[in-house]
């Protein structure tokens, strides 16, 4: 155990970043975001602007092509790789996926992204129809991963103990309140707390999955703890500690189950009395033919009577 401890400590920082085997969803999603961020930074400005506007989850696009923009808007990072959302995405989603698996992380991320988007954009469309907002509000630029990221933050804190969870939620809530006070993008700023609440609401789902994964890992570790002595006992080559090997082939390393039992000797079947009497009569007839009463010509009986000269 002392030799394994440094290896485990050295491996912990590596678990903070995604890998294709342990966290496939976060790993491949991060590669997609890396590609779109590099293209947004070095690509043709006119093409990039057209792609961003086509991916915007504004009220007009949600009314015409909702599925397309809901997926396309999550392929870009607002602010690029220099945004704090990029670092938070890698750390938060990696930690959550290692605990609950890729499918549940994808469900939490997509649920927070969709719920917060609809909760902020549908009222805009209704206010425009009511005449309280101009029609230009239907075509606002709205894209990024912030809604899904905050949903994953809420789901991750649901796995913490009460004190660490309270500290994390207090820090994140303070940042969200500062964004609301700045009033730079009111719709997105109101969507962030809603996404965080959607992640907290998924707490029972992720907690149940985490307990299942921990139980399975503990069972796998218990199965790998079989020592050489236990293996020898299981295979019949050695008796448990404190017991002696019995005399016979087992003491020479031959397992008891490999011995072939000797077949018991079958008892001799007794002869039938009638058959034994018949054999005795035949032997006496051969020794003394006249004693049989039949002679050489036939069978003797009581009807023949006494024989004369």
pLDDT tens digits, one per residue of 165-212:
999 999 999 999 998 888 777 788 899 999 999 999 998 888 876 666
Q: Find where tokens 């404190």 sit.
A: 242
- CA pair distance 218, 195, nearest whole angstrom: 33
Q: Of 48-52, 148-152, 203-207, give the lowest mean pLDDT range.
A: 203-207
Residue 268 confidence (pLDDT): 58
Band of residue 5 on the pLDDT scale cut at 50, 70, 90: very low
Segment 134-149 shows an average pLDDT of: 91
Band of residue 295 on the pLDDT scale cut at 50, 70, 90: very low
Q: Of 51-60, 64-73, 230-239, 270-279, give the lowest mean pLDDT range.
A: 270-279
Structure tokens at 216: 């399975």
Band of residue 109 on the pLDDT scale cut at 50, 70, 90: very high
Single out the residue of 70, 168, 155 nearest to residue 120, CA to CA: 70
Q: Is residue 103 over pLDDT 70?
A: yes
Residue 200's Cα: distance from chain center in Å? Answer: 23
CB contact at 8 A, 197 and 186: no
Residue 137 confidence (pLDDT): 87
Say what percent of the chain tops pLDDT 70: 63
Give start and end residues of each alpha helix (H) in 66-202. Answer: 66-72, 84-100, 102-130, 146-157, 162-182, 186-201
Backbone angles phi, psi at 204, to 5 degrees: -60, -35
Q: Find where tokens 């500290």 sit.
A: 167
pLDDT: is 104 or 288 the higher one?
104
Residue 290's Cα: distance from chain center in Å? Answer: 99
Residue 278's Cα: distance from chain center in Å? Answer: 82
Residue 9 confidence (pLDDT): 38
Residue 15 confidence (pLDDT): 79
Predicted TM-score of the model (pTM): 0.66
């Amino acid at each position: 155990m002392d030799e394994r401890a440094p290896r485990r400590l050295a491996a912990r920082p590596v678990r903070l970043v995604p890998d294709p085997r342990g966290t496939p969803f976060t790993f491949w999603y991060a590669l997609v975001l890396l590609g779109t961020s590099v293209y947004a930074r070095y690509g043709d400005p006119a093409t990039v602007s057209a792609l961003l506007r086509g991916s915007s989850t504004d009220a007009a696009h949600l009314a015409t092509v909702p599925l397309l923009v809901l997926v396309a808007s999550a392929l870009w990072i607002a602010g690029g790789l220099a945004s704090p959302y990029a670092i938070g995405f890698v750390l938060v989603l990696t930690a959550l996926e290692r605990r609950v698996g890729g499918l549940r992380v994808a469900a939490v991320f997509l649920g927070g992204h969709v719920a917060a988007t609809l909760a902020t954009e549908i009222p805009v469309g209704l206010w425009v129809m009511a005449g309280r907002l101009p029609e230009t509000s239907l075509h606002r630029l709205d894209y990024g991963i912030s809604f899904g990221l905050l949903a994953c933050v809420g789901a991750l804190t649901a796995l913490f103990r009460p004190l660490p969870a309270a500290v994390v939620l207090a820090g994140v809530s303070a940042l969200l309140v500062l964004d609301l006070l700045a009033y730079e993008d009111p719709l997105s700023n109101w969507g962030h707390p809603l996404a965080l609440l959607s992640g907290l609401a998924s707490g029972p789902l992720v907690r149940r999955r985490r307990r299942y994964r921990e139980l399975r890992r503990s069972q796998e570790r218990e199965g790998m703890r079989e020592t050489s002595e236990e293996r020898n006992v299981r295979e019949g080559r050695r008796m448990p500690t404190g017991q002696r090997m019995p005399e016979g082939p087992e003491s020479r390393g031959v397992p008891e189950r490999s011995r072939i039992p000797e077949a018991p000797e079958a008892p001799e079947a007794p002869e039938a009395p009638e058959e034994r009497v018949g054999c005795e009569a035949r032997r006496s007839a051969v020794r003394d033919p006249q004693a049989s009463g039949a002679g050489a010509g036939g069978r003797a009986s009581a009807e023949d009577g006494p024989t004369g000269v």
